Amino acid sequence: MKFSKSHLLNLAMIVALIATAVVGHHFSPLLLPKADVTGAADPGCDLQRRACAATLPQGHMKLSITPRPIPFLQPLRVEVTVSGIEARKVEVDFAGESMSMGYNRSELTASGSGRYGGETSLPVCVSGGMTWVATVIIETDRQRIAVPFRFDVGH
């Protein structure tokens, strides 16, 4: 059986897409933003219902995304509150857990007393539903802390 160049190219693209999906799904921690310290959200965290907290080595943080439930393609208000550490910069990076949705990171604006806020939106997923990872990135003078929060949209 002889294959044309276009058939072989199509087959190679399909294999590459499958490999990317498998690698992305099984190695999603490798895709988290670079950090010196990686924290974990408190058990039972559900960003679709309420703000979620995390304990950091030197303090605490809380992430809130509104409106709830979290929609696609609509403005989202993102708020982070940090206590016990002096943050120089706070960002939130949104990534699809099983599918690359492109670069989607927002730097939040300080509003005093450890509060940071900003607006963003989530792109729509062609499959209709997506598990997202919102990683809060806190930069201090000495380290970069990343805390991932998982949540589903459109399921």
Question: Which pLDDT band, with edges at 50, 70 and 90, does 30 fall under?
Answer: very low
In-domain check, residue 4: no
Residue pLDDT, tens place only, 82-122: 999 999 999 999 998 888 777 889 999 999 999 999 999 98
Question: Which pLDDT band, with edges at 50, 70 and 90, does 25 fall under?
Answer: very low
Show the domain range for 63. Answer: 32-153
In-domain check, residue 8: no
Non-local CB neighbours of 109 within 8 Å, separated by 6+ positions: 116, 117, 118
CATH of the domain at 51: 2.60.40.10
Residue 132: is its pLDDT beyond 80? yes
Residue 148: is its pLDDT beyond 50? yes
In-domain check, residue 120: yes
Higher pLDDT, 98 or 125: 98
In this prediction the pTM is 0.76
Residue pLDDT, tens place only, 56-65: 988 999 999 9
Q: Which residues of 88-103 are buried (b: 16+ CB within 10 A; e: fewer)?
A: eebbbbbbbbebeeee
In-domain check, residue 80: yes
Q: Nearest to residue 96, comparing CAs of 56, 120, 118, 129?
A: 129
In-domain check, residue 55: yes
Are 147 and 133 in contact by the 8 Å Cβ rule? The answer is: no
DSSP character at residue 35: -
Distance CA 48, CA 65 (A): 8
Block residue for tokens 């080595």: 57
In-domain check, residue 19: no
In-domain check, residue 74: yes
Distance CA 65, CA 84 (A): 22
* pLDDT for the residue 16: 41
Are 36 and 144 in contact by the 8 Å Cβ rule? The answer is: yes
As a three-state string, the secondary structure of 116-138 is EEEEECCCCCCCCCEEEEEEEEE
In-domain check, residue 127: yes
Counted domains in the chain? 1
Q: What's the mean pLDDT when you consider all of the chain?
A: 82
Q: Nearest to residue 40, comparing CAs of 28, 27, 54, 52?
A: 54
